[in-house]
């Protein structure tokens, strides 16, 4: 799957440039055939304003949030986008640039702090700002919650308690309420995991959930709380100034049951250092927990390589900078549930289909070594998606992702996590986004459905398009092109 595509024209710069919002939805020109059952809205979040006046924002995650919507209805497609409006006087950022997801019957645009923004998914209007601290003991939650079949939302967040007691809290927000009250009012902390280091909790971006377990990976990228507490009051300081690496802890896995008692496994699962942003999936199999992850090797923080000045360099410079950054790898880790002291020194993983190992050491720690599912030099499989409604927390075959070539998104990839076979969609001078999987109604196969991605093709007459791919073969079914560039988007959802 390693990409040999080069980008000497540096067309990727266009996805990091400011655009105007639209006054009304604009029609798209459709080529190909959009499946007749595909009617709904693709909602996505990303930065859209990369400077204020003459003052540029410096980091990829700093641009002001822009919400995008492609509406698909009766074979027609329209595109709309709107900037967010913010309340002044907030000390921690509420720039909901990362994702949008439902809670009950409402939709929220989010970053990773305690502020989430309720939006109208039709008009893209900002409805209200919600401070999660009013309901939960958390200082923020990730932009990657899990949602159960009944609509219950689970998430994980840092908690900086009284006397600097640190914990990672798993929170639960119930589904839509019969009495129409706001489910957030009934949210609660269900499990608390201790931090390995006093004063320095790890940064987290997502977590794993199986039918019966939560999986939390404590990575060596740390939040320096003293810097965090002062950053918001120092002019010019940003949340990027709060991060630092721990070069000795490696990476710790924590496992806890989902039942109300929230039993935390006392076993110390350890492995070498990596950065982790995205869990792909996790599941239980024959007494083991299988955890598939998009990792970046080492403790050096990947976000340090995502400054706009670097991403907007000439292609040769972009490549040089990526050579110095942590290297990506899709990995499978396997955690044994049943551990006996007399099994010291042996590999405890007996699943026949994986080479991942877990070895019990004399100090009681269990050292994990992964099976590599995909690896290519400076070629990341990132922004992973699965057939979530069918495979969340279950044994599965297919993951879909955005291919990053030296951090530049230039292809869409399908990965069979069992056979390691890959499929690629790629087109000259095209810059796609995270592919969202939408299942065909009544499908019986895991990969029977479509992938939706927003693609930017800078030189084209209509430089932005919604791409519809057949998820089985990764071939193009249709594209809906609009007469505007669409800046980079991180995450989003399909609302049928
Ligand atoms: C789509 C293509 C992008 C092009 C380049 C991307 C390269 C990506 C390589 C690695 C993958 C990283 C994925 C990250 C995806 C993403 O959506 O990131 C956005 C993250 C943001 C905006 C994070 C914001 C975090 C904040 C505001 C944290 C605040 C906090 C602290 C600093 C300490 C206390 C806790 C709290 C409040 C969470
Ligand atoms: Fe993410």
Q: Each residue of 313-348: pLDDT tens digit?
A: 999 999 999 999 999 999 999 999 999 988 999 999
CA of 445 to the centre of ligand 2 (A): 27
Best mutation site among 64, 140, 167, 169 for ligand 1 pocket (most ligand atoms within 8 Å of CB): 140
CA of 328 to the centre of ligand 2 (A): 15
Best mutation site among 490, 491, 492, 493 for ligand 1 pocket (most ligand atoms within 8 Å of CB): 490
CA of 345 to the centre of ligand 2 (A): 36
Tens digit of pLDDT per residue, the chain (496 long)? 556 799 999 999 999 999 999 999 999 999 999 999 999 999 999 999 999 999 999 999 999 999 999 999 998 999 999 998 776 566 788 999 999 999 999 999 999 999 999 999 999 999 999 999 999 999 999 999 999 999 999 999 999 887 678 999 999 999 999 999 999 999 999 999 999 998 899 999 999 999 999 999 999 999 998 888 776 667 667 889 999 999 999 999 999 999 877 777 789 999 999 999 999 999 999 999 999 999 999 999 999 999 999 999 999 999 999 999 999 999 999 999 999 988 999 999 999 999 999 999 999 999 999 999 999 999 999 999 999 999 999 999 999 999 999 999 999 999 999 999 999 999 999 999 999 999 999 999 999 999 999 999 999 999 999 999 999 999 999 999 999 999 999 999 999 9
The residue whose CA has the least distance to atom 14 of ligand 1 is 277
Best mutation site among 239, 379, 413 for ligand 1 pocket (most ligand atoms within 8 Å of CB): 239
Whole-complex ipTM: 0.96
CB contact at 8 A, 206 and 181: no
Q: Each residue of 142-164: pLDDT tens digit?
A: 999 999 999 999 999 999 887 67
Pick out the residues of the known binding site for Fe cation.
Answer: 144, 205, 278, 491
Ligand nearest to the CA of 276: 1
Ligand nearest to the CA of 111: 1
Find the residues whose C-beta lies inside 6 A of ligand 1.
Answer: 61, 92-93, 97-98, 111-113, 139-140, 158, 223, 228, 239, 242, 277, 302, 306, 382, 404, 407, 409, 433, 488, 490-491
CA of 268 to the centre of ligand 1 (A): 27
pLDDT at position 342 is 87
The residue whose CA has the least distance to atom 23 of ligand 1 is 112
The residue whose CA has the least distance to atom 18 of ligand 1 is 98
Closest ligand 1 atom number to CA of residue 302: 10
CA of 206 to the centre of ligand 2 (A): 7
Q: What is the pTM of this model?
A: 0.97
């Amino acid at each position: 799957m390693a990409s040999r595509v080069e980008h000497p024209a540096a067309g990727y710069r266009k996805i990091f440039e400011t655009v105007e919002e639209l006054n009304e939805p604009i029609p798209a020109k459709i080529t190909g055939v959009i499946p007749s059952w595909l009617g709904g809205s693709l909602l996505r979040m990303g930065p859209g304003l990369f400077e204020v006046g003459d003052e540029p924002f410096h980091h990829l995650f700093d641009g002001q949030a822009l919400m995008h919507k492609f509406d698909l209805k009766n074979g027609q497609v329209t595109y709309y986008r709107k900037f967010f409006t913010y309340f002044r006087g907030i000390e921690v950022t509420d720039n909901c640039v990362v994702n949008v997801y439902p809670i009950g019957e409402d939709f929220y645009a989010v970053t990773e702090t305690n502020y989430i923004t309720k939006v109208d998914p039709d008009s893209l209007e900002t409805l209200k700002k919600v401070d999660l601290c009013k309901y939960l003991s958390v200082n923020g939650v990730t932009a990657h919650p899990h949602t159960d079949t009944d609509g219950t939302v689970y998430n994980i967040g840092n908690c900086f308690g009284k006397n600097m007691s640190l914990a990672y809290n798993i929170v639960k927000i119930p589904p839509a309420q019969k009495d129409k009250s706001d489910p957030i009012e009934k949210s609660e902390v269900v499990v608390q995991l201790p931090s390995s280091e006093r004063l320095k909790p790890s940064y987290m971006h997502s977590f794993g959930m199986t039918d019966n377990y939560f999986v939390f990976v404590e990575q060596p990228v740390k939040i320096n709380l003293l810097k965090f507490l002062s950053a918001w009051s120092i002019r010019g300081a940003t949340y990027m100034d709060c991060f630092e690496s721990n070069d000795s802890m490696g990476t710790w896995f924590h496992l806890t049951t989902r039942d109300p008692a929230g039993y935390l496994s006392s076993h110390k699962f350890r492995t070498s250092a990596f950065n982790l942003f995205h869990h792909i999936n996790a599941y239980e199999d024959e007494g083991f927990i299988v955890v598939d992850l998009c990792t970046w090797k080492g403790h050096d923080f990947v976000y340090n390589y995502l400054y706009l000045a670097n991403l907007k360099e000439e292609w040769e410079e972009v490549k040089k900078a990526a050579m110095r950054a942590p290297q990506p790898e899709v990995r499978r880790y396997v955690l044994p549930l049943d551990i006996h002291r007399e099994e010291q020194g042996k590999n405890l993983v007996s699943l026949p289909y994986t080479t991942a190992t877990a070895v019990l050491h004399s100090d009681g720690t269990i050292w994990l070594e992964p099976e590599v599912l995909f690896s290519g030099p400076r070629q990341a499989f990132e922004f992973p998606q699965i057939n979530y409604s069918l495979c969340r927390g279950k044994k599965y075959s297919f993951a879909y992702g955005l291919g990053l070539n030296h951090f530049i998104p230039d292809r869409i990839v399908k990965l069979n996590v069992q056979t390691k076979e890959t499929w690629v969609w790629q087109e000259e001078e095209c810059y796609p986004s995270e592919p969202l999987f939408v299942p065909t109604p009544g499908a019986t196969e895991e990969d029977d459905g479509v992938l939706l991605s927003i693609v930017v093709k800078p030189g084209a007459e209509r430089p932005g398009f919604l791409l519809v791919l057949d998820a089985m073969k990764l071939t193009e079914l249709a594209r809906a092109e609009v007469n505007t560039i669409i800046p980079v988007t991180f995450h989003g959802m399909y609302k049928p």
